[in-house]
A and B are shown apart, each in its own frame.
Chain A
Amino acid sequence: MTRLAIDAMQAAGEIADFSRRMAAGALALATLEAPAEGCSARDIVHREDGIVLYRYRPQAASAGLPPVVICYALVNRPYMMDLQPDRSLIRGLLARGLDVYLIDWGYPGAADRFLELDDYVNRYLGGCIDHVRHTLGVPAVNLLGVCQGGTLALCHAALHPEGVRNLITMVTPVDFHTPENLLSKWIRGVDVDRMVEAFGNIPGELLNATFLSLMPLRLTSQKYAGIADIADDPAALANFLRMENCIFDSPDQAGAAFAQFIRWFFQENRLVLGGLMIGGGRVDLRQLDCPVLNIHAAQDHLVPPSATLPLRGLIGSHDYTSFEFDGGHIGIYVSARAQEILPRTIAEWLEKR
């Protein structure tokens, strides 16, 4: 008994139809313009080296809450948070009257090879937060860290708790040694200093290849076969192109900071096991006593829930909220459900604090 019931003539027709639709999809893609980086109006309010801090223009009456500073990951571009009008966490927050700032880490060049985590966590992130505090005259901000940016935000908040009123972490790795963490297993035996010595800055292409190899068939063969399904839908093709552009817009990683991040977090798991020193300061999550909202994605293949949930037991704060989003690592930024659920969850949580 077999479930296979493919008729030869029907299969031949399917191949012909698939080829025709793929060709049509390719032609339609060729007519689209290159996607823009972000869609909401914003102004540059602060710069340091290659780092830029944006402030988004309001889209609703102010909710009267302290500003939200978004700290995105270093490995991708932050416009993932504002991809298009109907897929923008930032728009969702603006619509609820929040004052939103976004840190753009830029594209590290060869001259940035010796930037360390100290520069990112203390100098750049600290500089952006201080700028907002001083210009608005507020004692502390609401800090929203996303993915690796959440890990940086945790470190900053533990080192400088006075500047962070509330901390929101989204799909943020905390425990890097959980059994599901494939990246951690693969990188644990690598001499990362030697790697940086050979490469200088770590190429974004190398990181992309690594991320693709986590689910190689779904993220290559199956995803691109899907073009056939949307070949005659220009809006869906434009969405597809925008996502592709964003996913593979991966800056090179400043060598020294990359080496420290891999060694201290992936290899030595110091955020959990202790002993993490950044810029001469000890990162002790027990010092983190502000309210924390930890958002994770149930089907996240990059930051599995098990990697982020241990946060609860590590921080000093007694005001901890965990929120599970039913989706994956990318869906949490761009799915229609995420647009509806996440801004509301964040805004309501902040209003109560």
Chain B
Amino acid sequence: MNISDTFGDGIRDIPFASHADTESEAVRRIRDFGEDYLGITRELWKLVESQLSQEAGTPSQTLEKGLDQLRNALKEKFVRLYVPAFGPLHAQQAATERLMSTTLRWQRAAARVSELLSAVAADAVARLVAVLSGPDASGPPVTSLRQLHDLWVECGEQAYATAAHSEDFAAAQTELLTAMVEMRFEQRRQIEEWARAFNLPTRAEVDAIHRRLHELARLLREAQKR
């Protein structure tokens, strides 16, 4: 056995190296993900086809459920590609990951609130239709667009008030605010890192000075009172 064969045998088992008749762990992972991704795409197309073959107005719960399953499957496959941060720049990589993760969380929270607001809009229209032509519709005829607009506002506020007082809505609002806070926190942390790199003062440093000043002023006032 020569040196070349010895080296070749040696690197064959290293996960991230490639070889003609075998494959590295990394390549296998990427290939598996590709196959899974294609599988998910095929399932998505089947789902779309099945929906297209249904009559218009058919409830979309099946579509929503199917999409949810595919979304979760895709997320699960992506997670398998994840490698934790390491090495000299691991802190920066981890910070970037946190920023992306908080941004995604905020997007999901915003989407949830939009979803609830869409339901409010639909409810407002349903209420407007009922007020205009439902079995209990009463009152003078609506003869102008402005009257119609005002009526829509009234129905919209009623629909909104009903939704806004629900626990679902409060939870969605809380999550939106919390997600925004976390995203902003990470954004600020990144900006502070950059400022520090250029030896510029940061918000955290100025806050520390303000906190000390505030405390000193309080102590001075107490001393003056004595």
Interface residues of A in 151-183 (CB under 8 A from B): 179, 182
A202 to B152 Cα, complex, angstroms:
34
Query: Interface code B170-191, partner A: CB below 8 Å = 1, 0 otherwise?
Result: 1101100110011011001000
Given the contacts A189-B174, A190-B177, A218-B153, A6 and B203 also touching, CB distance less than 8 Å: no
Supposing A14-B146, A18-B146, A186-B170 touch, asked if A3 and B185 sit within 8 A by C-beta, the answer is no
Tell me if B214 and A114 are in contact (CB < 8 A): yes
Say yes or no: A110 contacts B153, CB within 8 Å: no
Q: For residue A225, which residues in chain B have a CB less than 8 angstroms away from its CB? A: 146, 149
The 8 Å CB contact of B157, one of A2, A15, A215, is A215
Within 8 A of A (CB), among B126-159: 131-133, 137, 139-146, 148-150, 152-153, 156-157
| Interface residue ranges of B3-51 to A (CB < 8 Å) | none
* Interface flag for A149 (CB, 8 Å): no
Encode A110-153 as 1/0 by CB contact (under 8 A) with B.
Answer: 11011100000001000000000000000000000000000000
Residues in A with CB closer than 8 Å to B140 are: 3
Question: Contacts of A186 on B, CB cut-off 8 Å?
Answer: 170, 173-174, 177
Give the interface SS of chain B, mostly helix, strand, loop or mixed. Answer: helix
B210: CB under 8 A from chain A?
A: yes
Q: Is the CB of A197 within 8 A of B148?
A: no
Nearest A-chain residue to B148, judged by Cβ: A6
Alpha-carbon distance A195/B214, docked complex (angstroms): 20
Total residues of chain A contacting the partner, CB 8 A: 41
Q: Which residues of A contact B122 (CB under 8 A)?
A: none
Chain A positions within 8 Å of B165 at CB level: 179, 182, 185
- Asked whether A4 lies within 8 Å of B133 as measured between CB atoms, the reply is yes
Q: How far is the CB of B44 from chain A (nearest CB, A)?
A: 35
Given known contacts A1-B133, A5-B143, A190 and B174 CB-to-CB distance under 8 angstroms: yes
CB pair A190 B178 closer than 8 Å:
yes
Are A200 and B203 CB-contacts (below 8 A) given A5-B141, A6-B145? yes
What A residues does B206 contact at CB under 8 A? 110
Is A199's CB under 8 angstroms from B181's CB? yes
Q: Besides A2-B137, A198-B184, 18 other CB < 8 A contacts?
A: A3-B137, A6-B143, A6-B145, A14-B145, A14-B146, A18-B145, A111-B213, A179-B165, A187-B174, A189-B170, A190-B174, A190-B178, A191-B178, A191-B181, A194-B178, A194-B181, A221-B153, A225-B146
> What are 13 A-B residue pairs whose CB atoms fall within 8 Å in the complex?
A5-B141, A6-B148, A14-B146, A110-B206, A110-B210, A182-B164, A188-B170, A188-B174, A198-B182, A200-B203, A200-B207, A217-B160, A221-B149
Residues of chain A at the chain B interface (Cβ within 8 Å)? 1-7, 10-11, 14-15, 18, 110-111, 113-115, 123, 179, 182, 185-191, 194-195, 197-200, 214-218, 221-222, 225
